Amino acid sequence: MQILNSIPELHLARRLMTGSVGLVPTMGYLHAGHMSLVDYARRENDLVIATIFVNPTQFSENEDLTTYPTDLPRDFSMLESAGVDFVFVPTPEMMYPRSFQTYVTVEQVSQGLEGAQRNGHFRGVTTVVAKLFNLTQPNIAYFGQKDAQQVVVIRRMVEDLNFPLKIAVCPIVREPDGLALSSRNIYLNPEERSAAVVLYNTIQTVNSHYFAGERHPNRLLEIANDVIKAEPLAQMSYASLSDPITLYDLDMPTEDPMLFSLAVQIGKPRLLDNCILPLSLNTRDGVTAVLGVDEKAR
């Protein structure tokens, strides 16, 4: 595995690459969720580029940029064992030199859910992802379903700005008790860690009502709220049932796929989770086909 520490090094390496390239962009402190993206990329491309960059522009003022966990030696050894060919590790100064003044903003789909809670977050994400796409020129870029809105926003940007690549979405990887993997889970103390299973329990409960025939978004949200309220350490940030393309909140029953997403504060971290209803769509092909893909607009 070649470690590329600068943009000129990446440019040179990219020029010499032949065959298809899969990109796995990360902020490091890798876990099995990231590694599943790498595994898909490895299987589906001739070469894999991973990037590790804690992107300052996607953190809002009250967020954990300075304390965001990092462990580069561990990340490198995980990526190397997984067969990654190149890892690009720029510094903030390389990505955002003093003269920097160009940002990418995706409008409507960036505004609700996480966008409403985290000022400027998606502008930071789309700006850095656009730069990483330009720098690495992948055929397929891999993102996790865990950040479902991020996928929808990035897909909108790819479509609107004609990036010549495909987005692959990979299902959420969970701990044995159902907690979705996240680098921020390390902030949970043991008591909070036990409480954090409430997010998965909420998904399971909502799904069992959906499976039993409940289709009214408001009723499903009431059920979700009741589960969260019963956990004293959990504070609901939001729960939403939305259209998986437009992210508009649903207020009428529908047989079309719905995106159920929730954000819950437990101790320091705000934890995110989501699923597509029906649950049978939460596979690599299912989430890739449903999240953010506007077939009607093609």
Active site residues: 34
Distance CA 167, CA 22 (A): 10
Burial label, 66 (beta-carbon count in 10 A; 0-12, 13-18, 19+)? exposed
Interface of this chain with ligand PAF, residues 36 to 55, rule: CB under 6 A:
55
Q: Token digits for 217? A: 């978004």
Q: Token digits for 246? A: 């437009």
Burial label, 267 (beta-carbon count in 10 A; 0-12, 13-18, 19+)? middle
Distance CA 265, CA 28 (A): 22
Q: Which stretch binds ligand PAF (CB under 6 A): 13-21, 22-30, 224-232, 233-241?
A: 22-30
Q: Which residues contact 297 (CB under 8 A, 6 or more apart)?
A: 159
Nearer to ligand PAF, 26 or 145 (CB): 26
Nearer to ligand PAF, 135 or 224 (CB): 135
**Minimum distance from residue 202 beta carbon to ligand PAF (Å):** 22
E-strand ranges in the chain read 2-4, 21-26, 47-52, 86-88, 140-144, 166-170, 234-242, 258-266, 270-277
Task: Return the residue of 36, 58, 127, 145 that touches ligand PAF, per CB under 6 A.
Answer: 58
**Minimum distance from residue 24 beta carbon to ligand PAF (Å):** 9
**Minimum distance from residue 87 beta carbon to ligand PAF (Å):** 13
Contact criterion met (CB below 8 Å) for 135 and 127: no
Task: Return the residue of 49, 129, 180, 224 that touches ligand PAF, per CB under 6 A.
Answer: 129
Q: Which stretch binds ligand PAF (CB under 6 A): 21-29, 40-48, 215-223, 259-267?
A: 21-29
Distance CA 143, CA 37 (A): 7
Query: CB atoms < 10 A from the CB of 72, how many?
Result: 13
Nearer to ligand PAF, 129 or 198 (CB): 129
**Minimum distance from residue 296 beta carbon to ligand PAF (Å):** 27
Task: Return the residue of 27, 48, 158, 170 that touches ligand PAF, per CB under 6 A.
Answer: 27
Q: Which stretch binds ligand PAF (CB under 6 A): 35-43, 75-83, 123-131, 155-163?
A: 123-131
Interface of this chain with ligand PAF, residues 133 to 192, rule: CB under 6 A:
147, 150
The CA R_g of the chain, rounded to the nearest whole Å, is 19
Distance CA 294, CA 298 (A): 7
The reply on whether position 128 binds ligand PAF by CB under 6 A is yes
Q: Which residues contact 77 (CB under 8 A, 6 or more apart)?
A: none
Q: Which stretch binds ligand PAF (CB under 6 A): 24-32, 67-75, 77-85, 265-273?
A: 24-32
> How would you label 175-202 residue by residue, b for 16+ Cβ within 10 Å and e otherwise?
eeebbbbbbebebbeeebbebbbbbbbb
Task: Return the residue of 10, 22, 23, 25 that touches ligand PAF, per CB under 6 A.
Answer: 25
Task: Return the residue of 10, 22, 26, 140 that touches ligand PAF, per CB under 6 A.
Answer: 26
Q: Which stretch binds ligand PAF (CB under 6 A): 97-105, 121-129, 247-255, 257-265?
A: 121-129
Q: With CB under 6 A, what is the number of residues at the site for ligand PAF?
A: 10
Nearer to ligand PAF, 150 or 274 (CB): 150
Task: List interacting residues with ligand PAF (CB under 6 A).
Answer: 25-27, 55, 58, 125, 128-129, 147, 150
